[in-house]
Structure 1
Amino acid sequence: MMEIVNIHAAKAQLSEYLSKVERGETVIIARRNKPIAELRPISASILTKKSRPMGLAKGKIHWVEDAFAPLSDS
């Protein structure tokens, strides 16, 4: 189900609309009855954090030996 609400109503009743989104509904937010945003549930794939394997840049980064040496006084 999809519902269209103007910004004033969305601001005044945000908790109510978020409850609807949690139930799987979509809420369209409009300014002067012109749709500008969509409030919908987040897909489960976005919520799962995938760890990146170590060493992806191995051999691609090089620095000179004295890169971490103290700087001179000047």
Structure 2
Amino acid sequence: MMTISADQIEANASTVLFELRKGERVGVTFGDDKAVQAYLVPGNLVSKRKGPRKLGTLEGKGTVTFAEDFKMTEEEFLGL
């Protein structure tokens, strides 16, 4: 497995893609301790979901209720 720092990914993009193409994972390091924070994996290892995602075990078990006087602008909602 190859590891590369986050700030070097762009400069070494072709090398990273070559490793992924070979089926190898690439660890991405970040910070002073150079610990792996994320992994890039080959595309064939990622599941290709078809259709909408299912909510799962919580489906139909939650409700949302708004007070009649509830008002929020789009700016407030978006945190602008």
TM-score (norm 1): 0.52
Partner of 1:30: 29
1:15-72 deviation line (CA, Å, top 9, x unaligned): 210111011111100113121110111236724x6579xxxxxxxxxxxxxxxxxxxx
Uncovered stretches (5+) of structure 2, i.e. residues with no partner: 53-80
Query: Larger C-alpha radius of gyration, 1 or 2?
Result: 1
Q: Unaligned regions of 5+ residues in structure 1, if any?
A: 53-74
Q: What is the number of equivalent residue pairs in this alignment?
A: 50
Matched residues, percent identical?
A: 22
Distance in 2 between the 1:31 and 1:45 partners? 23
**RMSD between superposed Cα atoms in Å:** 2.3
Structure 1 consecutive aligned stretches of length 4 or more whose deviation exceeds 6 Å: none
